[in-house]
Amino acid sequence: MKKIILLFYFLIFSLSRCCYAQITKIQLDNGFSFIHSEKKKIGLVSVNLFVKGGAAIETDNEAGITNLTVQLLTKGTSNRTLEKIAIESESLGASIGAGCSNDFSEVSMIVPSDNFVSAFDIFADVVNNPTFPEKEFEKEKIRTIAAIKSKSDRIFDVAYDEFNELIFKNHTYHKPIEGYQTTVSSLTASQISDNYRKHFKTANMVLCIVGDVKIDAAKKLVEKYFGSIKIIGTIEKTKKEQQKIDSSKLSKKICTGKFQQSYIFCGFPAPDINQKEYVTLKIVNTVLGGGMGSRLFETLREKSGLVYEGDSFYPSRKQISDFVLYAGTSKENIETVEKIFVDEIKKLTEITDDELKNAKEYLKGTYLLDHRTIQRQCWWLGFWEIIGKGYEYDKKYLEDIDKVSISDIKTASEKYFNPKKITTVILK
């Protein structure tokens, strides 16, 4: 056991040294931001482009438009068809993908460093010159609608969507990122094109390049493909009335479904990523649901065997977040599990010194382990930058974890966790 622990800490130490090499940030005259970190002799380069906004900037009537837009970026450009993008990328050993979250969209690429220059031409073409072909648009829309329908077969997804609709009912976060079947069905290719032109502006973008490429070479390519773009601007702000969340009272919804089991979500509105309690609640979440040594695992699985899965999570969001406890269990145990959730919430002010120490080590360890690949190192730099903390926070986050005290946890728990104001969704 001691050898395993020593090996773990050696791995963490090694990762902490390799993750934080020299990092450079450059902002071009047109507002485009570029972050670079060289990793010598690894033979790979990872690229991530982050675009401000994400699903949070959508209206309810266009829910899913951002996700559909980014999925279509690789389906054809003014210079390349879908087939040509695929053939050229494969011949270079490059993989290009795109995705969407609440607060940002992203386009990513991983490629052997010897082929970086050629692959970056394809990457920039996908970002700068998409044509959103009508044929590919219809195919992608059908795939998205099929994916939305398939969620009805997954109990977690059904319950979680219901929970988000309840806790974020007056906020733009209430919508699923992929949208609704009705809204996606009504979208047109022209709407997708308009959405792209509206939000894919240089002042909204952060590009990260991490890997076996020197800063001068990377900068030259970035300036070539993104420095001459003249369209600049910022995204439109979401309407003020969308930002309100009523956390002053208990809210509960019981749903019926087709499943043999039951599911429960309980939670509270929680601070966004830029609030001072953010890291404190990350530690609280680790104590409550961080792995097999957490309180929920011990109470719900080890001692009672009440659930087949159960945990907690606290998403890192830009506007507001939520702190959530969830569990899947049998229908006859759902009330017992709900009572345990309330009891555990009441005990969050009673975290011990040992729990705090273990939670800090677990949180730092899992964070560093998620930096094992250059893809994830690249992603984290861009994530912190686009979310508003700055790329430097990739390292400072670990320092902030160490600063959290028992007093900080008690204060934050008393502020945010009131059992009389809990939001609950039960799917039976």
Say if residues 384 and 395 touch (Cβ distance below 8 Å). no
Per-residue pLDDT band at 292 (split at 50, 70, 90): confident
Q: What's residue 260's pLDDT?
A: 93
Q: Which residues contact 313 (CB under 8 A, 6 or more apart)?
A: 285, 289, 324, 326
Question: Structural domain of residue 258, as residue ranges?
Answer: 246-427
The verdict on 297 and 194 lying in the same domain is: no
Give percent of the chain with pLDDT exceeding 90: 88
The verdict on 26 and 165 lying in the same domain is: yes
Least confident interval from 13-27, 80-94, 211-225? 13-27
Per-residue pLDDT band at 229 (split at 50, 70, 90): confident
Over range 108-118, report the average pLDDT.
98
Q: What's residue 241's pLDDT?
A: 40
Which of these three, 234, 256, 280, is where a domain ends?
A: 234
C-alpha dihedral (132, 133, 139, 140), degrees to nearest 10: -10
Q: Give pLDDT tens digits for 137-178.
A: 999 999 999 999 999 999 999 999 999 999 999 899 999 999
Q: What's residue 231's pLDDT?
A: 56
The verdict on 262 and 328 lying in the same domain is: yes
Least confident interval from 235-244, 290-299, 411-420? 235-244
The verdict on 86 and 228 lying in the same domain is: yes
Q: What's residue 228's pLDDT?
A: 87
Q: What's residue 235's pLDDT?
A: 46
pLDDT beyond 50 at 330: yes
The whole-chain average pLDDT of the chain stands at 92
Q: Which residue has the higher pLDDT, 298 or 11?
A: 298
Q: What's residue 232's pLDDT?
A: 46
Cα–Cα distance, 167 to 170 (Å, whole number): 8
The verdict on 166 and 314 lying in the same domain is: no
Q: Which residues contact 224 (CB under 8 A, 6 or more apart)?
A: none
Q: What's residue 239's pLDDT?
A: 44
Q: What's residue 291's pLDDT?
A: 82
Cα–Cα distance, 180 to 178 (Å, whole number): 7
Cα–Cα distance, 404 to 279 (Å, whole number): 8
The verdict on 340 and 194 lying in the same domain is: no
The verdict on 156 and 280 lying in the same domain is: no
Give percent of the chain with pLDDT exceeding 70: 91
Q: What's residue 7's pLDDT?
A: 45
Q: What's residue 236's pLDDT?
A: 47
Per-residue pLDDT band at 20 (split at 50, 70, 90): low
128 exposure class (CB count in 10 Å sphere: 0-12, 13-18, 19+): middle
Cα–Cα distance, 109 to 73 (Å, whole number): 13
DSSP H helical ranges for 168-251 = 181-186, 189-199, 215-226
Least confident interval from 31-45, 236-250, 395-409? 236-250
Q: Which residues contact 212 (CB under 8 A, 6 or more apart)?
A: 38, 39, 40, 41, 42, 43, 44, 45, 113
239 exposure class (CB count in 10 Å sphere: 0-12, 13-18, 19+): exposed
pTM tops 0.85: yes
Cα–Cα distance, 359 to 401 (Å, whole number): 9
Per-residue pLDDT band at 5 (split at 50, 70, 90): very low
The verdict on 293 and 364 lying in the same domain is: yes
Domain count along the chain? 2
Over range 2-29, report the average pLDDT.
62
Per-residue pLDDT band at 251 (split at 50, 70, 90): very high
Which residue in the block uniquely carries the two structure tokens 């090996």? Answer: 7
Indicate whether 3 belongs to any domain.
no
Per-residue pLDDT band at 86 (split at 50, 70, 90): very high
The verdict on 261 and 210 lying in the same domain is: no
Q: Distance between the two ends of the chain, CA-based, in angstroms?
A: 43
Q: What's residue 3's pLDDT?
A: 42
Per-residue pLDDT band at 248 (split at 50, 70, 90): low
Q: Which residue has the higher pLDDT, 250 or 311?
A: 311
Q: What's residue 329's pLDDT?
A: 97
Indicate whether 385 belongs to any domain.
yes
228 exposure class (CB count in 10 Å sphere: 0-12, 13-18, 19+): exposed
pLDDT beyond 90 at 18: no
The verdict on 69 and 146 lying in the same domain is: yes
The verdict on 93 and 178 lying in the same domain is: yes
Task: Check which CATH number belongs to the domain holding 35 and give it.
Answer: 3.30.830.10
Q: Give pLDDT tens digits for 169-224.
A: 989 999 999 999 999 999 999 999 999 999 999 999 999 999 999 999 999 999 99
Which of these three, 210, 234, 258, is where a domain ends?
A: 234
The verdict on 112 and 161 lying in the same domain is: yes
Strands 33-38, 205-211: pairing is: parallel
pLDDT beyond 80 at 247: no
